[in-house]
Structure 1
């Protein structure tokens, strides 16, 4: 055979295929391993979310701590104070808290139980960082008209002389006429009263301490850390319906942990400032912990406070509050620039 026509030598078949097969198997193993690790990581993350992040105690602790530190919040709801045999006060409130300032829209109804009379007040309240209170009552003249009529009824009853409806109206109008110039100046307009006007050193002292706390994030974080260390709110029930996008919890206070929190709070920055103010006597009056109820709702994702319900009793007064909360969503609060001094109105009332 002609050597020139012989086929060229070929490399062994096995030597060509073996390296490719090995690479494919190695890549497959790596891919499967990474896939398994990814699945394990996802499962671990989900377990962490549901078993730790969604843990009721953590949710409540985070919600309260975040609320302490936060500088902004919007609160909507109703507060009712019911004094057994005298009056009932109902407040529909929308409050906007930003930095160290608060603005509230208030629709109030005051009921005098003895005579079954009710008075309504509608307006706005703003409190600035220095403790100055700004008030605007939209129906000031109508409210005083009702109040003066009530005063005439009480005066008639105490004196033993019955007054006709026309006589009561005449006396009421006479009293209103004395105040009319002042009421015209303040009806539906802003008026303010400062801590200096109140001449109350205790109010000024607490205002300064709270102002410092609101303006210093470090102080608020210090309080939040003390709360986390002495978490005095225990979970009583988790089977509440959702509210305002939050999961609900019924809470019970832990007296021992609260006592430790209160003691350590005294040594904090704000505690030392408040210790300079007049002590508030907590022993006066009787309260019943058995009648007290606190419910909180917290976001499952952000752990922000979403709602609060509270019921409590002290002496013959019961207080109920039901409030929806939106943290960190408040708009800036504008302080009224044209407010007159409320002292003029108060001085005029003192002359009656």
Structure 2
């Protein structure tokens, strides 16, 4: 399949409205190709990595499904399932790749065992925040690179959610120096986990539904998840006292709609454009919701006597050094990683230079204590 067929985002809002209005007005809507055939009824199932209790993460998948159904007048529906209902939470890509599920909603960095380069589709330590990540994916060549990589797993991806900069996780004891990380058992996925391992942490990758019990029962000493709103829903504040920031390993994590390529290619062109539009809506709406709800949740945690603490500069510097050593090592050994990393790091340098002037310049003044 030609890469431009995988990447196109040419459907404008006006074209979408006109096409969808036509669908709603006709009981036998013509196909996008204009051959007079009715658009088909399509019924898919979606595996996700999320528990239903998290209305933000599972909700990101629901937005995609709900909007696709609405924009096709119910002709194309997708039923989302919580992690573990049909497919284990960390095996969504496997199910989509083999075709046992038409689609999924997950985080690409869960699958770095398949390819370390998949991490860029979600986030990497000391990488891009949500705004920068969207700029890279939509207008910086990032999505084209990620779709090229995903195609090797018989899958196409579209960004469909983002949390914004995350918190640095829950710890049962204070962490003041890099030496304090030695021997710590911590739940942390992706390349962030590899950085922590390099700093002496015993890393574990657990799905969200298992974190609370593991932390409460002492199977792990620390865990990162998302941020105040989701973390409070999981009850992590009842299992650990110290809540660190920032989440340097997840500055702007994207979540993906994953679609089996054979299933994708079977869709009419109009349905494909609707999927892209629904995913983009989920990507924007999910980030907006997190920004809207995290402030109140943080105040709730503070009222529960949670101790909010910053990582020390020593820890941040050690982690950043380890992160870029890992990137360079992977790039020297893995052609897929090198292709994405070289382009990504160039984009990162450029957008950091711009945001240092506009975003940081404004935030440095406006956030000063008065």
The structure where helix makes up a greater share of residues is 2
TM-score (normalised: structure 2): 0.19
TM-score (normalised: structure 1): 0.20
The structure where strand makes up a greater share of residues is 1
